[in-house]
């Protein structure tokens, strides 16, 4: 395999008038420690048929060969930007280099049960969307960016699409945006909420997403809904039993639940509300949390909803659970690793994952922790977010509403 550039490749029989023209470069697509480089063969192959194509990376000057497009590179460094050039070889020698590809960054792509965490506030407000594979442990990875930096954003998801709703940077917004969960990219505009709001909570099933509560100049009781598979503005659904913000939400395929939150005063709530997702109407009382809190979070599998963390004068580490199909008060489940305000939650059919938050020692944390939903117990370390954040939005393609 030639390791020198074409201009330095000399061999018996070399004839610069009979070498191929340069291939036409295509695109480079990144994978896990890998990249695939596409190209179009030259129409002028010179004095003989092309015997091989070679691609060279920058940085690293790694050379790979193939008999046709694409050329696969392995052993690359995840997180490092690469470009690639391609050249062709026939009996008489090497072609000139092609133009370089655009820059590509190899990395692991989401697959299977995937959670996304969008936005949040720490050292500054961020527009970053992060992802994790729920069945494994490990650190979060970059997915893409929200349209604008935002904290207090709400989220819901189908099995294919995650939707982020509302939020605040210096002003409160009504923007709805979405991404395709297994395709890393920046978010795309979906529509607008009826009311600009932040510190609301989202839930839903496979077809309909709901957002309830939140605040702007005051607290909201209103619930809006969207059809996740299509784009469009929010539609009025009904009202919670009380206006409140910084609350948690969870859902099965039929019911949406909201729990906790605060109103001006401050008044902290232990109330759990529920609605039937596929019909519009006002929420009904479900029961009570084990403690009155705001800044808590929620998530669920198909049968059990968990509500965790928050603030009731100090940061709370309590996790409580309810059985979604029946009404009643929450039962103690276990504890988070520490008391956290503004922690985010995403779930699969087996795990609830809690990310970030503002701790009892008054610092933002990057900790990710998890529990097994079907069994009670304390949270276990999962990994770390890309940065320390609170009031991010968490959702997944495998939560209890699907």
Count of CB atoms within 10 A of residue 287's CB? 17
- Residues 193-206: pLDDT tens digits? 999 999 999 999 99
Matching residue, tokens 């949406």: 256
CA distance 370 to 380: 5
The tokens describing 364, both together, are: 């933002």
- Mean pLDDT for the chain overall: 95
pLDDT band of 6, cuts 50, 70, 90: low
- Residues 293-308: pLDDT tens digits? 999 999 999 999 999 9
Average pLDDT score over residue span 91-114: 94
pLDDT for 254 beyond 50 = yes
pLDDT for 95 beyond 80 = yes
- The CATH number of 6-94 is 2.60.40.10
pLDDT for 10 beyond 90 = no
To the nearest whole percent, how much of the chain has pLDDT over 90? Answer: 92
- Tell me, what's the pLDDT at 1? 38
pLDDT for 5 beyond 80 = no
* CA 73 to chain centroid: 27
pLDDT for 369 beyond 50 = yes
- Residues 181-231: pLDDT tens digits? 999 999 999 999 999 999 999 999 999 999 999 999 999 999 999 999 999
- Tell me, what's the pLDDT at 9? 58
- Residues 103-119: pLDDT tens digits? 999 988 999 999 999 99
- The radius of gyration of the chain from alpha carbons, rounded to an integer in Å, stands at 26
Among 268, 270, 272, 390, CA closest to 338: 390
- Tell me, what's the pLDDT at 2? 42
Residue 235, phi then psi, degrees to nearest 5: -120, 145
Q: How far apart are the first and last CA of the chain?
A: 51
- Do residues 132 and 118 touch, judged by C-beta distance below 8 A? no
Higher pLDDT, 9 or 305: 305
pLDDT for 75 beyond 90 = yes
pLDDT for 177 beyond 90 = yes
- Tell me, what's the pLDDT at 360? 83
Domain ranges of the chain: 6-94, 114-396
pLDDT band of 245, cuts 50, 70, 90: very high
Average pLDDT score over residue span 358-381: 95
pLDDT for 38 beyond 50 = yes
CA-based angle 277:295:136, to the nearest 5?
75
- Tell me, what's the pLDDT at 79? 87
pLDDT for 13 beyond 80 = no
pLDDT for 102 beyond 90 = yes
- Residues 15-25: pLDDT tens digits? 888 999 999 99
Right CATH for 114-396 from 2.120.10.80, 3.40.30.10, 2.30.29.30, 3.40.50.970: 2.120.10.80
Contacts of 49 (CB under 8 A, 6+ apart): 90
pLDDT band of 12, cuts 50, 70, 90: low
Average pLDDT score over residue span 340-361: 96
pLDDT for 8 beyond 70 = no
- Do residues 34 and 73 touch, judged by C-beta distance below 8 A? yes
- Tell me, what's the pLDDT at 14? 77
CA distance 366 to 271: 29
- Residues 333-350: pLDDT tens digits? 999 999 999 999 999 999
Average pLDDT score over residue span 121-137: 97
Say what the pTM is. 0.85
To the nearest whole percent, how much of the chain has pLDDT over 70? Answer: 97
pLDDT band of 383, cuts 50, 70, 90: very high
């Amino acid at each position: 395999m030639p390791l020198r550039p074409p201009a330095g490749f000399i061999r018996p029989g070399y004839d610069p008038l009979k070498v191929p023209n340069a291939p036409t470069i295509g695109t480079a697509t990144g994978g896990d420690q890998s990249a695939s480089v596409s190209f179009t063969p030259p129409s002028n192959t010179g004095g003989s048929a092309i015997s091989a194509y070679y691609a060279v990376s920058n940085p690293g000057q790694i050379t790979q060969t193939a008999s046709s497009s694409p050329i696969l590179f392995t052993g690359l460094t995840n997180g490092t930007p690469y470009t690639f050039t391609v050249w062709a070889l026939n009996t008489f020698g090497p072609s000139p280099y092609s133009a370089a590809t655009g820059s590509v960054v190899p990395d692991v792509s989401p697959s299977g049960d995937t959670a996304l965490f969008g936005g949040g506030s720490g050292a500054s407000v961020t527009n970053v969307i992060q992802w994790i594979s729920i069945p494994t442990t490990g650190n979060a990875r970059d997915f893409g960016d929200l349209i604008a930096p935002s904290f207090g954003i709400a989220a819901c998801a189908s099995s294919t699409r995650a939707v982020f709703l509302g939020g605040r940077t210096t002003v409160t917004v009504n923007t709805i945006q979405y991404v395709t969960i297994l395709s890393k990219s920046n978010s795309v505009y979906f529509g607008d909420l009826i009311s600009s709001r932040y510190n609301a909570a989202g839930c839903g099933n496979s077809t309909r997403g709901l957002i309830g509560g939140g605040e702007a100049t005051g607290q909201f009781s209103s619930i809006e809904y969207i059809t996740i598979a299509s784009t469009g503005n929010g539609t009025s659904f009904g009202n919670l039993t009380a206006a409140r913000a910084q609350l948690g939400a969870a859902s099965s395929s039929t019911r949406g639940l909201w729990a906790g939150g605060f109103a001006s005063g401050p008044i902290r709530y232990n109330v759990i509300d529920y609605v039937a997702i596929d019909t519009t109407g006002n929420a009904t009382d479900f029961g009570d949390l084990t403690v009155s809190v705001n800044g808590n979070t929620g998530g669920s599998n198909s049968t059990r909803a968990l509500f965790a963390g928050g603030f009731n004068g100090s940061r709370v580490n309590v996790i409580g659970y309810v059985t979604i199909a029946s009404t009643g008060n929450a039962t103690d489940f276990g504890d988070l690793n520490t008391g956290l305000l503004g922690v985010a939650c995403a779930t699969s059919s087996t795990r609830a994952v809690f990310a970030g938050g503002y701790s009892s020692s008054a610092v933002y944390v990057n900790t990710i922790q998890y529990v097994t939903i079907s069994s009670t117990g304390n949270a276990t370390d999962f990994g770390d977010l890309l940065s320390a954040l609170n009031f991010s939005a968490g959702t997944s393609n495998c939560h209890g509403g699907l």
